[in-house]
Structure 1
Amino acid sequence: MNRTKICVLGLGYVGLPLAVEFGKKYHCVGFDINGKRIDELRSGVDFTLEVNNSDLNSVLKQDLNKERNGLFVSKDIADIQDCNVYIITVPTPTDKNNRPVLTPLYKASESVAKVIKKGDVVIYESTVYPGVTEDECIPVIERISGLKFNVDFYAGYSPERINPGDKEHTVSKILKVTSGSTEETAEFVDQLYKSIITAGTHKAPSIRVAEAAKVIENSQRDINIAFVNELAKIFNLLGINTNDVLEAAGTKWNFLKFKPGLVGGHCIGVDPYYLAQKAQEVGYHPEIILAGRRLNDGMGEYIAHEFIKLMVKKDVPVKSANILVMGITFKENCPDVRNTKVVDIVRVLKEYSLNLTILDPWANCDEVRHEYGLVSIKELPSDKKFDGAILAVSHDEFLELDLPSLLKPNSVVFDVKGILPNDKVDGRL
């Protein structure tokens, strides 16, 4: 292949950090169909906060200059037709019935098919079940482009490992799994990523192996969290502090230190359904995977009911009580509200006619309203007192908050994240 020219399709939490890294060493075009996102990035600002604005501006170029390295962002498909490596980083969500939705992958594959040429390589990073790349996506490219797979163009799969909000484990510092549709392509893909990933790479023997490796990473974590969530329910009935138990058990060298909590976000709460779907297609019903999903998906409702029980026990009137919900994002110190399970807590509490104030200094209020129809605020009014509070997300700002000063003398505090002192809370997981 002549000089490598890369296109990254999808400039969200995964695609943008990757495009910036490639832009440091290659001519790179970041493509996204969201015009607002493109305008934002061209102004040198990333509102997802995954890329530091100074890092973005250091590689950003405002013209499609093919003679120098850097990142040019565009929503115009004509701007990517000169590329020869296409990396697809679009979301792979589930529908309301928890079935995989491959539409974004199909659409991205159609876009690539319109510009792909002989000798080009398309690499998928989106999380999928084994077989999606070669059985679902590649036929789309063949049909529209008229080119033949592994004769005219080639494919790779290198699953994303982005951890939103994590400033330590950034894209270049996380070991990358790579794969390709032929031995030569696998080596090319591996060397391409190795040129920007300082943590190194692992070349899987096939695309299907790489797809399977990715989908079990988050399934394993999901199951482990489900286990400690179940323990939390048991220990709550026994009157035992779950954190104390985990701390004691954690003194053994091979104990896995997972903590109970809400399992949301775009990965852990979604990926197991992709593996379960494929398993069912081949005639196997995955009991442990789906059991873990059911338990974790029910934690928001469980927390809400436990909170109401505590209000009743402390004689705090439930109807019309003013309750502070601390956090709406799916994890701490991150603006990402995708698939947040805090909304499950909110939904159940609303059924009891409570007055809820959702405080989150990180979340975009317009996004929260658009995605969930909820009103959130970034700062609290100074004169309001609450009948109770639920610490749902452990943002750093909440650790500095004088919570007792916000509460009425007889109130309830539930600590979902287990970060408040024992004598300051009425309930926790």
Structure 2
Amino acid sequence: MTEQDSDITIAVIGLGYVGLPLAVAFARHHAVIGFDIDETRVVELSQGQDRTREVSSESLLSAERLRFVSQADELSGANHYIITVPTPVDDNNTPDLTPLIAASKTVGALMKAGDTVIYESTVYPGATEGVCAAELSAISGLQLGKDFYLAYSPERINPGDPINTLSSITKVVAGSDQTTADRVNRLYQKIISAGTYLAPSIRVAEAAKAIENTQRDINIAFMNELSMMFHEMDIDVLEVIETAATKWNFLKFTPGLVGGHCIGVDPYYLIHKSQEKGYFPQLITTARRINENMSAYVCERILKLMALKQKHVVNARILVMGLTFKENCPDLRNTRVIEIIQQMNRYHARTEVYDPWVSKEDVAGLDLNFTTEPVDGTYDLVVVAVPHRQFSTDNPRRYLKPGGILFDLKGLLPDEWVDERL
């Protein structure tokens, strides 16, 4: 199957951190329809407003070949569908493919013979050709490889990172057959300046994506365990890491909370599939357990510090600085900071949250006491939970009462400012 560039119309399903930059990039070369079920999101984007702050207003308003829609029937003119919906886990940490299946059904109802469907969502190996292709065929009545074509190109977006962006990260591409893989590879090469990597199969590409974030999860878990160990030995773990990092092959990760939609989720997809096949991963599972328990460990450290300083947690005024799952971005997905807040409130502390990257509207459903202007000299304890750049230059001790405590979870602040750091 061959197509001229003028014949290609791309529909991007899901306009979040992954889909929106993709839609804007492809609109420089092709007609693009951006679809999202959130009507408010679609209106905002049409007006040049991106609440994720990943795409500028200028880029949105100047993308003349891109239009945003919230109704599925407005996608009918597309012949290439790129699905970028979330793939979360449920309360039991089992993969939840509900959004992916729903998107597949939407596309399946619109597909025509000759169309191509590309998935970017992170899944376990076999899901794209098994679950997704089956949904597409069942709804459309079309046969894979004969009537429609399937590809997989896992997203590698790093929210809040202005350097490692869509175009500057090598793009992995795979297809259900070699002809489709080559054709989709050429499509992505138009927007990826860093180049593409053609994986030998979709299952290999799915597995590669899953282990990228699993590797990070394991490395952070190692640092978290070191933090616990060295705290008992009265050794500063960050000083240990800095010293070890003088060796060329040391991997300089740091301890902390592991949230977000990727690192804290993707390992469960691998664990699920592996257990389904009869192998029960030990290292990956242990790393997940360590990182899942990190917020409880942080609270334990804080309570012990307060007791040492003869500060009672009941009715204590506490300010938590930073709520997003990582620094310098407004992404609240799976943030573990909220667990610290909830645990402190169980002890009847009076906790306030301050984060310049989010608004009161963003946290409306989270049952938090959110403040946009912390008051100097008000708090018994300040916890710097997220290392936003705004926090690095202004000494947060000014928010403390005399004798108040400053706890730095990520080692952002100078030693002389803080009472303790993780």
Q: TM-score range by the shorter chain?
A: over 0.9
Q: Which residue of 2 aligns with 1:279?
A: 274
Task: Please report how far the alpha carbon of residue 319 of structure 1 lies from its aligned counterpart in structure 2 after TM superposition.
Answer: 1.1
How many angstroms does 1:42 deviate by? 0.8
Equivalent of 1:106, from 101, 106, 110? Answer: 101
Distance across 2 between alignment mates of 1:72 and 1:405: 48
Q: Which residue of 2 aligns with 1:194?
A: 189
Which of 230, 234, 239 is residue 235 of structure 1 equivalent to?
A: 230
Conserved 8 A contact 1:13-1:50? yes
Pick aligned residue for 2:370 from 371, 376, 380:
376
Corresponding residue of 1:64: none
Alignment partner of 1:22 out of 23, 26, 29: 26
Distance in 1, matches of 2:76 and 2:262, equals 31
CA distance in 2, matches of 1:329, 1:229: 19
What is the identity, as a one-letter code, of the residue corresponding to 1:94? Answer: V
**Code of the aligned partner of 2:27:** G
**Matching of residue 417 in structure 1 with residue 410 in structure 2:** yes
> Cα deviation per residue 1:92-139 (whole Å; 9 max; x = unaligned)?
011111111000000000111111111110000000000000110111
Q: Is the 8 A contact 2:351 2:369 kept in 1?
A: no
The within-5 A match list for 1:318-337 is: 318-337=313-332
Letter in 2 for 1:423: E
Shift of 1:423: 2.0
> What CA distance in whole angstroms lies between the structure 1 residues aligned with 2:289 and 2:305?
25
User: What secondary structure is seen at the aligned counterpart in 2 of 1:366?
Assistant: coil
| Alpha carbons 1:330, 1:340 under 8 Å: kept | yes
Map of 2:199 onto structure 1? 204
Identity between Structure 1 and Structure 2 (%): 51
Shift of 1:379: 2.2
Counterpart residue identity of residue 12, structure 1: G
Structure 1 equivalent of residue 178 of structure 2: 183
The separation in 1 between residues aligned to 2:85 and 2:208, in whole angstroms, is 19
SS state at 1:29 partner:
strand
Task: Determine whether 1:213 maps to 2:208.
Answer: yes
Which residue is 2:390 aligned to?
A: 397
Structure 1 residue 373: deviation in Å?
2.1
Could you tell me which residue of structure 2 aligns to residue 35 of structure 1? 39
Residue 328 of structure 1 aligns to a residue whose secondary structure is coil
For residue 364 of structure 1, report the CA deviation from its aligned partner: 3.0
| Paired letter, 1:20 | V
In structure 2, C-alpha distance between the alignment counterparts of 1:127 and 1:378, rounded to whole Å: 35
Contact 1:335-1:364 within 8 A present in 2 as well: no
Residue of 50, 53, 64 corresponding to 2:54: 50
Q: CA deviation at 1:317?
A: 2.3
SS in 2 for 1:376: coil
Q: Name the CA distance, whole Å, in 2 between partners of 1:158 and 1:317.
A: 52
Offset, 1:402: 3.1
Q: CA deviation at 1:77?
A: 1.8
- Conserved 8 A contact 1:316-1:410: no
Q: Does 2:154 align with 1:163?
A: no
1:386-410 CA distances to partner (integer Å, 9 max, x unpaired)?
Answer: 1111100011111233322211121
**Cα deviation per residue 1:289-318 (whole Å; 9 max; x = unaligned)?**
111011001111111110011011011122
- Map of 1:86-101 to 2, 5 A cutoff? 86-101=81-96
Distance 1:77 1:323 in 2: 46
* Matched pairs, number: 418
Deviations 1:206-251 (A, max 9, x none): 0000000000000000000000000000000000001100010000
TM (norm. structure 2) is: 0.97
User: Aligned-pair distance for 1:348?
Assistant: 1.3
Q: Is the 8 A contact 1:369 1:375 kept in 2?
A: no
**Deviation at residue 369 of structure 1 after TM alignment:** 2.7
State how 1:310-389 maps to structure 2 within 5 Å. Answer: 310-370=305-365, 372-381=366-375, 384-389=377-382
TM-score (norm: length of structure 1): 0.96
Q: Is the 8 A contact 1:215 1:272 kept in 2?
A: yes
For residue 42 of structure 2, what is the amino acid of its counterpart?
I
Question: Of residues 118, 122, 127 in structure 1, which corresponds to 2:117?
Answer: 122
Aligned counterpart, 2:263: 268
The amino acid that maps onto 2:413 is L
Using the TM superposition, give the Cα deviation of residue 165 of structure 1 relative to its aligned residue in structure 2, in angstroms.
0.7
Q: Give the counterpart letter for 2:201 in structure 1.
A: S
